[in-house]
A = this chain, B = another copy of it.
Amino acid sequence: MGLDFHSPKTTRYLQVYDYYKDLIIHGKLEEGTKMPSIRRCCEQLGLSKTTIETAYLCLAADGYIIARPQSGYYVTGRAAKNQAKKAAKRQEEPKQKILYDFTSNNADEDSFDFDLWRRYIKSALRQDKRMLTYGESQGEYELRETICNYVINKRNAVCTPEQIVIGAGSQSLLNLLCPIIKDKQKVYFHDTPFAQGIVIFEDYGFEIVENFEDADILYMTPSNMTSLGDVMSVEKRLEILKESASHNRLIIEDDYNNEFRYFTKPRPCLQGLAGGEHVVYLSTFSKLLLPSIRLSFMILPYDLLPLYQKKRALYNQTASKVEQLALCQFLRDGHLDAQIRKLKRLYSNKTKQLCYELEQVFGKNASISTGESVSIVHVKLKSNLSNQEFCKKALQYGIKLIPSYIEEKGYAQIALSTCEVPSNKFSEVVSLLKQIKE
């Protein structure tokens, strides 16, 4: 790199800076080398003292050179160290590679009609004028309206578009929610604890309590109470609502995967059963469409609405506007129902196939069951390993499993989500599991 001094005066020191930085980074000026004195440098380059001084100050501030009193500037070892650091970073994480992830919520290749979605994205992108603005902080109104109709019809929710807030994932919504429910501080996770929820509450200084009675916030996943997808009965729902109301507890209802039921129609959501009060409803489209589409929504109860509306203008919307507009039209055209039917068919077929393969190989040594969720297989294997030990051993073969929360001596109990792993790998995996067991 050479020096070109035909550019405006103000940027010359930057060129001097870049020039030396480059030499140092690439090892052409080694650690300990003395830099030319400022005076000599001025003469050599035909530049003013200020220019050189500024450049040297920047280089020193940057750590490339260091001033030694009564002696001058010297090249430091910083650049070299940085290179070493970089190299070290790269070599991290040589973990066991996961070949078959049965814990994953990633989608199956056949789960989504990409061509259809591309058409909606393309049509959204054609709305040039709408792309020029930040858009509504709460989410595009037409999408909120469409979602509102959807949850009223499908989930028996009670709400208006004014109560619906769009965000890029449930965590983005919890980031909006936590600051407006700060009068409550103790959160109880009623069903399977949700690590990505816990972290957000903790970030805001909320306490996660072990005991139901200590809580003033209940985080519930009534459509997915356990890893097997158990669903809460309406009676139990009503009971919890009554009890929560009498203790002034706020319920956060995370309704993800409510559509993926084997046997039953989805139960009405808590939000609707409670008449829209004292319940914050959360749901997402990432699991129905594609994990990479970050679109979730929450329904705020009327008593939290004024607080939210007061602060609303201060928060930028996180979800992509193109994806919001595409989803809106996709929903309006009625594609979601077809997509849900498709997913249920796909995952339930995969689940059946996996059950069959497991039965063929393990016979009487395993009891295999499916829960309410269409994509989960539960396996109870005769084994001296604990659930955790079994999963750990499976990982050595590249298989990631869900350990059951129920332990029973003489058995290893595990669950497998059939979402991600393609079905043509199932027999391979089952043979590997057979080896572990033995």
Contact = CB atoms under 8 A, between A and B. Distances in A.
A185 to B, nearest CB: 12
B61 A238 contact: yes
Interface in A154-209: 156, 158, 160, 162, 168-172, 175, 178-179, 195-196, 199, 202-205
Contacts of A205: 204-205
A209 to B, nearest CB: 19
A58 B268 contact: yes
Interface in A121-158: 121-122, 125, 128-135, 156, 158
A54 B273 CA distance: 11
Contact of A89 (B111, B160, B179, B234): B160
A186 B112 CA distance: 48
Contact-size category for A: 35 or more
Contact of A275 (B62, B108, B241, B317): B62
By DSSP majority rule, is chain A's interface helix, strand, loop, or mixed? helix
Interface stretch (A40-48, A319-327, A339-347): A319-327
A172 B200 CA distance: 12
Contacts of A264: 8, 10-11
B121 A108 contact: no
A314 interface: yes
A355 interface: no
Nearest to A180: B203
B291 A61 contact: no
A274 B235 CA distance: 62
B196 A315 contact: yes
A339 to B, nearest CB: 14
A352 interface: no
Nearest to A233: B54
Contact of A315 (B63, B171, B323): B171
A356 interface: no
Nearest to A76: B275
Contact of A132 (B57, B78, B109, B125): B109
A377 interface: no
Contact of A199 (B122, B171, B199, B311): B311
7 contacts: A14-B156, A109-B132, A114-B131, A121-B322, A131-B293, A172-B172, A196-B315
Interface of A: 8, 10-11, 13-14, 17-18, 54, 57-58, 61-63, 78, 82, 85-86, 89, 105-109, 111-112, 114, 117-118, 121-122, 125, 128-135, 156, 158, 160, 162, 168-172, 175, 178-179, 195-196, 199, 202-205, 234-235, 238, 241-242, 263-265, 268, 272-275, 286, 290-294, 302, 311, 314-323, 420
